[in-house]
Amino acid sequence: MTPECERKVPQTEKEPESKQDVKKQSVKLTKQNVLEKIKSIDSSAPNAAGEMSPTKLKKKKGLKLKYLIDETNNIDILHHKAYSKVECSSERCLGSLLKPGKTIASYDRSKEEKISQAIDFINQFYASVKRQGSKTHQERISEVIQSIRSKGTYELKETELCFGARTAWRNAPRCIGRIQWSRLQVFDARYVTTARGIFEALCNHLKYATNKGNIRSAITIFRQRTEQGHDYRIWNSQFISYAGYKMEDGSTIGDQSQLEFTEICIKLGWKAKHGEFDVLPLVLQANGLDPEWFDIPPELILEVNIVHPIYEKFKDLNLKWYCVPGVSSMLLDVGGIEFTACPFNGWYMGTEIGRDLADVNRYDKLGLIADTLGLDRKSNSSLWKDKALIELNHAILYSFQKNTITITDHHSAAESFMKHHQNETVLRGGCPGDWVWVVPPLSSHLTPDGAWKTHVWKQKSSNTENRRLKRRVYFSDIARAVKFSAKLMGKAMAKRIKCTILYATETGKSERFAKTLSDLFKHAFDPRILCMKDYDVVDLENETLLLMVTSTFGNGDPPENGREFKKILIDMQKERSLLNTSTDITNPDGLSNVRFSVFALGNSSYPKFCQFGKFLDDILNDIGAERVYDLGLGDELCGQEESFRKWSFGAFKSAFEYFCIDTDSSLLDILSNTDLDWSPQTIRLTIHDEKKFDLYESLHKLHERKIYPCKFVSKRNLQTVNSGRITLLVEISTTGYSSELQYKPGDHVGIFASNRKNLVDAILDKLSNAPPPDQMIKIEILKEKSSIFGAGKQWVVDDQYLPFTLRHAFTNLLDITSPLSQDMLKYLSSQVSADSDREKLEKLSQDHIAYEKWKLNGYPNLVEVLDEFPSLRPNASLLITKLPKLQPRFYSISSSPKQTDDINITVGLIEYTPVGKSTHYGVCSKWLDEMNLNDSVPMFVREAPSFRLPEDKTCPIIMVCAGTGLAPFRSFWQERKIDKEMLPNPNGINGVGWGKLILYFGCRQKNVDEIYRSEIDQMLKENVLSEYHPAYSREPNKKKFYVQDVMEKNGESLFDLICNKNGHFYVCGDVRMAADVTQTLEQQLVKHSNSKFTLQDAKDFLHSMKENLRFHEDIFGNNMSNNQSK
């Protein structure tokens, strides 16, 4: 006999297929058929991997959920899309039942039902990857329908399977830990055909999940159900569980819930040990054959002895528990396909283990614990059960945390679920939740997820005394409201011009600028703000005024959320080009009525400065739109805020005049007073009663992103003692924030360093009009406030900054090491007392040539400027408001999350001494070099989606780098090493093997600057790296040799790997090196193509590789030249 699966994803029940349907010939699939099938399914319906309805629904009323803690309401509309009937109703609740309903097995479903579910799922998958309606989507639908009609089933692609598994967890109504759903590791084990193979895959799963105590959630999925009697099954309810024995005297030992299954194991031949905590074997069944049992290797089972931090005698109870809660008896239903063996694990919530040990039908240890604690068990009124249970849970949490093993308490779990619930309500209009299961069994009234209620309306006339009293409204209030409304109505009747503001951003700065722009344009226009990825380009030709604010990422690339918009504009340009060659003059220019302007953010240290903004400005003009105001450029290194302010006011006034909007005197007053130029009369620093400076909240507020307090662990110099230079391998612990700092190989970390203490002290000594350096202060700005009742001035707190001290501001918030801009020098010229200092500062602020020469002469920082002009005593509020913000320093991550729990980075220590000046240090590199164990590191992860390992693991990978550009490739080979250990063959037993991993690395001298050489040699020995090609540029008595030269020697191999074997090409390093590498690659493609490629063909080919994510760049500017040194 085989045990039933504990839980299945409910499906809509339908009548079996009729005989006539079975005999029916398959319909010929055409493109039109496929499109009709796609349209017939509501792809917007979220799916619990088969749980949500594919039927197009009419708009229905939402279900109001009231949160009793703060009395807020949520409207749930997601439940309307449930695939099957919800078992609970307003009359009865079946939430406490383990298996509330049954489903029809996939082999009993009709072909039409399978097709319906499959199309629904495929639609959702392609919608999730932003490819809905594409040719690939249509072809996949056609392929699936043909397969079901001919074979009765189909196979999911690996990416589809991963999406389905993660979505199933996302929609699992009884799970409290779903906030991690998108990070679920999916192991595809569909190639396994034997019980022994299932066992080996489960061992790999357990090894990955355990991770030395830093538990990782994972699911391993075996072959799908095909026909009755051929299932793959794991008989254990959990793949780690303790045995339960019934003794002859009627007593029990061990886990009472496992009594029956333990007897089955013994009958199969397992030798019972009759201990309290004997780990049961795995009982596995492949292809419907007889089950086999396997003992789990003890070294794979991590257990914790339960002790108490206060009660020493607690350890005498000899309690323990395993660390990986792996559920193995659930069924996964994805797109009409069932997977009967899909073991899944998360990590424990303490109360789960508490119930396992305390419940009377499990270990029933509560009485014994009470006796050990000396509690009075004579009367229930002594609450001995409650006390014993609390101390048991306390001991469990303490024991796991003491051994640094992942566990969560029920309060934290409930808070994280409420955060997930809130996110899901915003994203999808609801969140599946079985509250009987989600609310923790302990202190349920104290956790935030136990306070929901569905509102029930009473009769119209009942309980009116309990309703909130309305505020009494006086005639004077009404008069003021009427006057205000009349003014608003007058403006509305003027029919405001609609304005669309689009932004694309990596850090959030462009979005902030876009919001500021919207606030300005609200005075005379009707603006709306959208991210480019959310914009429907169908609306483009109907726009009247289009404003765009965007940054540039890497080597002239758009930010991630602007890529699709760029592709669409390029397609529109190609269409226009074709129309222009046509003799048909009846095609009007679709964008002739669109007026636009662009503001581009960038960093002038990159050769392709503000490239994406320039692209938008050019291409919109090319496809027929009219520029209403010139392109604005904002340099991160020089007055970006000021540049944006000037552009935004210029664009506003130009649009104001272009659309002939009537001049309003109050509006002009507002515009004339929005200039935030500094003066001591308009900006001041005032005392604040806040007691303590909060660094992380301040950084969060200032940079509009969450920053996490990580811990410095260690550093190691990778250079030899003969090098004279320092390159550090820095290890940073993310303990406590590992879920928030999830990353993949190729991603970056952003680190907020601190300025050096000697520089900060020197600045504080020369300030004027400054409060004490350690006094908490705030910034206030005198602003003109205009309303229908008149205008007036008012001091307003600058909400960019939380309260701070001057010492903290110059240490953590402001950039004091970059050369000052000409605008800043102009401000400082008003802060000197000597005429000679004033004259020189004014000349530098006005003469561009003199300024550049001065800046290049040592890149003076703020302290050196103060020393150069002895009479300079700057006002504290001037520096606080006009100095640029201290920006994060970005480093490629040099580790794989599969290899280590911490994050490793590779840091080149920057230091140089200008002639006649003191030594300059890289802000972050020197800061890291001077850190001690457990020092706090403010950090966040920035994804690099275009610099990831290919999904197809059989593709060759060529990695080209120099110096610290090797950093991300270390994460690549670490990831590959673990992947090969987990899965010797990426595509199953008979599939194509792992693709080659080839490294080209350039440095100065062999055995001196060759960082990670011993690790590279080990990777070559283990066949993780296939080839290693070093290039040395400073070898004594030898010609300089760069990576480009080594590439040239291997040109024929490169051509074959890239053009014939679908290889991926990665380059990481300085922009100049990257440009030389790209040029060399182009030349080699031409040389070895047998005259098939011209140089332009090669350029076009690499461009197409880049568009198809086969050519990857992670590059950075020459930071030394602008003092933005890491």
Annotated binding-site residue numbers? 175
Q: Measured over all CA atoms, what is the biggest interatomic distance in the chain, rounded to whole angstroms?
A: 104
Alpha-carbon gap, residue 436 to 613, rounded angstroms = 52
Contact 117, 104 (CB under 8 A): no
Alpha-carbon gap, residue 587 to 1039, rounded angstroms = 62
Instruction: Please tell me what DSSP assigns to residue 804.
Output: B
Burial of 170-189, coded b for 16+ CB within 10 Å and e otherwise, reads bbbbebbbbbbbeebbbbbb
Contacts of 229 (CB under 8 A, 6+ apart): 288
Task: Name which of 51, 345, 63 is nearest 171 in CA terms.
Answer: 51
Instruction: Please tell me what DSSP assigns to residue 239.
Output: S
Q: For 534, list phi and psi in degrees, rounded to 5.
A: -95, 0
Alpha-carbon gap, residue 865 to 848, rounded angstroms = 17
CA distances to 46, 559, 615, 998, 1075 from 508, rounded to whole Å, are 28, 11, 20, 36, 28
Q: Is 1068 one of the catalytic residues?
A: no
DSSP 22-91: HHSPPPPP-HHHHHHHHHTS-TTS--SSS-B--S-----PPEEEEETTTTEEEEE-GGGGBSS--S--SS
Question: Locate tokens 């507002």: which residue?
Answer: 670
Write out the H or E segment, with its range, that includes residue 1000.
Answer: strand 997-1003
* Cβ count near 672 (within 10 Å): 10
Alpha-carbon gap, residue 440 to 176, rounded angstroms = 9
Crossing angle between the packed helical segments 835-846 and 848-856, to the nearest 10 degrees: 100
Write out the H or E segment, with its range, that includes residue 423.
Answer: helix 410-428
Task: Name which of 913, 993, 896, 905 is nearest 953 in CA terms.
Answer: 993
Rg (CA), the chain: 33
Identify the active-site residue in 175, 924, 1003, 1068. 175
User: How deeply is 867 buried, as exposed, middle or buried, from its count of CB atoms within 10 A (0-12, 13-18, 19+)?
Assistant: middle
Instruction: Please tell me what DSSP assigns to residue 292.
Output: E
Q: Is 178 one of the catalytic residues?
A: yes
The sign one gets for the Cα dihedral 703, 705, 709, 712 is: negative
Residue numbers in the known binding site for heme b are 175
Identify the active-site residue in 352, 506, 731, 975. 352
Alpha helix (H) ranges present in 469-628?
475-493, 509-521, 563-580, 611-622
187 CB-side CA count, 13 A? 30
Identify the active-site residue in 169, 235, 293, 347. 347
Q: For 1032, list phi and psi in degrees, rounded to 5.
A: -115, 125
Identify the active-site residue in 178, 595, 807, 838. 178
Q: Is 981 one of the catalytic residues?
A: no
Q: Is 352 one of the catalytic residues?
A: yes
Contact 408, 447 (CB under 8 A): no
Residue 1054, helix vs strand vs coil: helix
For residue 465, which amino acid is it? E
* Cβ count near 664 (within 10 Å): 12
Q: For 66, list phi and psi in degrees, rounded to 5.
A: -105, 130
Burial of 947-975, coded b for 16+ CB within 10 Å and e otherwise, reads bbbbeebbbbbbbbbbbbbbbbbbbbbbb
Tokens of 569: 């504009």
Write out the H or E segment, with its range, that includes residue 765.
Answer: none
Q: Give the residue numbers marked as catalytic.
A: 175, 178, 347, 352
